[in-house]
């Protein structure tokens, strides 16, 4: 099955302590769509300006990413610039120019409205809800969010949670949203706000998954020696999860989500190995499968026989 991905499409400038690059393809929808495309066809929704390279549309077509839902507007594409500290976990936004994204209102092509799996990548919750208003009857809805919406659009976010099957957010956002210091308490409390499942990202420390009752899963992160650019890792994680579910299951169960989370983590581990989407562009399914199997072996624990 296809997965509908809606979010931002951006041109980024990224600075780390050792490198700096500009005019990079970015945005939550780009990372999410490319990650999902390894498992299922993608229907992409976003907006770009007249400065956006035509070559990206050609690349999307080569990856079975349908871009009919990408609006083209007069003006410049959304631009973001950020700088990372030495630990590559702390990031400071240097500049934001919304440009054509400022007036973005997602309009779904008719063919998109019956898509059964949906990834609402990180955009304002009011826009995420507007997308769902146009859908016929999605089977499984994944939504990502961030601290900005928790602080400035909490009422819209709370309303959206009633319509979401899986909410994805990071550890600091989960604590901010619930005022709980314990991530276990935070995850369970967020579930009571509406979503059937909650995934809390912990960066280099993995992720947590919460389901009904006592359903709980802790997933580590794949250990890496070289990290070049963490931008988009969380969006890649969400896209990998949504794409895996759309491409492999009809009815989503907790065990399916556990496997999807590992695939999401694997894809995120590849994403950070190069700037922008360059590593994901060259990535093969064989590499994903090999790292997935290695990840599984690393996660197994056996008590030695004495």
**56-66 pLDDT, tens digit each:** 999 999 999 99
For residues 216 and 238, give the distance between their C-alpha atoms in angstroms, rounded to a whole number: 18
Mean pLDDT to the nearest integer, 196-208: 93
Q: Is residue 305 part of a domain?
A: no
Task: Give the model confidence (pLDDT) of 152-173 as tens digits.
Answer: 999 999 999 999 999 999 999 9
Q: Is residue 281 part of a domain?
A: yes
- Residue 110 belongs to domain with CATH number: 3.40.1190.20
Q: Is residue 268 part of a domain?
A: yes
- In this structure, are residues 4 and 43 in contact, taking their beta carbons and an 8 Å threshold? yes
Residue 273 tokens read as 């190995």
Residue 71 lies in domain:
3-299
Residue with tokens 């989370």: 261
Task: Give the model confidence (pLDDT) of 211-255 as tens digits.
Answer: 999 999 998 888 888 899 999 999 999 999 999 999 999 899 999
Q: Is residue 8 part of a domain?
A: yes
Q: Is residue 304 part of a domain?
A: no
Task: Give the model confidence (pLDDT) of 175-187 as tens digits.
Answer: 999 999 999 999 9
Using a 10 angstrom Cβ sphere, with 0-12 exposed, 13-18 middle and 19 or more buried, the burial of residue 292 is middle
Query: How many separate domains does the chain show?
Result: 1
Contacts 24+ apart (CB under 8 A), 257-262: 257/166, 257/197, 257/199, 257/209, 257/211, 257/217, 258/209, 258/217, 258/219, 261/199, 261/207, 261/209, 261/217, 261/219, 262/219, 262/292, 262/295, 262/296
Indicate whether 210 pLDDT > 70: yes
For residues 20 and 94, give the distance between their C-alpha atoms in angstroms, rounded to a whole number: 13
Reported confidence tier of residue 295, pLDDT bands at 50, 70, 90: confident
Q: How many residues does the chain have?
A: 306
- In this structure, are residues 121 and 142 in contact, taking their beta carbons and an 8 Å threshold? no
Q: Is residue 258 part of a domain?
A: yes
Verdict on whether the full-model pTM lies above 0.75? yes
Q: Is residue 306 part of a domain?
A: no
The pLDDT score that the predictor gives to residue 224 is: 86
38: Cβ–Cβ under 8 A, 6 or more apart, which residues? 240, 243, 267, 283, 285, 288
Q: Is 44 helix (H, G, I), strand (E, B) or coil?
A: strand
For residues 90 and 96, give the distance between their C-alpha atoms in angstroms, rounded to a whole number: 17
Q: Is 297 helix (H, G, I), strand (E, B) or coil?
A: helix
Task: Give the model confidence (pLDDT) of 14-58 as tens digits.
Answer: 999 989 999 999 999 999 999 999 999 999 999 999 999 999 999
Q: Is residue 69 part of a domain?
A: yes
140: Cβ–Cβ under 8 A, 6 or more apart, which residues? 116, 117, 118, 165, 166, 245, 246, 252
Indicate whether 148 pLDDT > 70: yes
């Amino acid at each position: 099955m296809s997965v509908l991905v809606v979010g931002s499409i951006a041109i980024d400038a990224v600075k780390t302590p050792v490198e700096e690059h500009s005019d990079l393809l970015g945005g939550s929808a780009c990372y999410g769509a490319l990650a999902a495309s390894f498992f299922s066809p993608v229907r992409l929704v976003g907006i770009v300006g007249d400065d956006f390279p035509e070559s990206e549309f050609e690349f999307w077509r080569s990856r079975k990413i349908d871009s009919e839902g990408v609006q083209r507007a007069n003006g410049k594409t959304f631009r973001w610039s950020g700088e990372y500290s030495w630990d590559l976990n702390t990031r400071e936004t240097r500049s934001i120019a919304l440009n054509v994204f400022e007036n973005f209102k997602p309009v779904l092509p008719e063919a998109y409205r019956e898509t059964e799996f949906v990834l609402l990548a990180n955009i304002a919750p009011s826009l995420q809800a507007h997308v769902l208003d146009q859908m016929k009857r999605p089977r499984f809805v994944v939504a990502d969010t961030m601290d900005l919406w928790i602080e400035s659009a909490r009422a819209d976010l709370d309303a959206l949670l009633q319509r979401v099957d899986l909410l994805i957010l990071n550890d600091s956002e989960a604590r901010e949203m619930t005022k709980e210091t314990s991530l276990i308490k935070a995850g369970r409390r967020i579930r009571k706000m509406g979503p059937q499942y909650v995934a809390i990202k912990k960066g280099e420390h993995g992720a947590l998954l919460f389901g009904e009752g006592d359903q709980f899963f802790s997933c580590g992160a794949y250990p890496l020696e070289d990290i070049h650019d963490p931008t988009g890792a969380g969006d890649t994680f969400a896209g990998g999860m949504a794409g895996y579910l759309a491409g492999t299951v009809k009815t989503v169960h907790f065990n399916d989500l556990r496997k999807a989370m590992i695939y999401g983590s694997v894809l995120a581990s590849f994403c950070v190995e190069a700037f922008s989407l360059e590593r994901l562009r060259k990535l093969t399914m064989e590499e994903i499968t090999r790292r997935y199997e290695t990840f599984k072996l690393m996660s197994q624990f056996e008590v030695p026989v004495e």
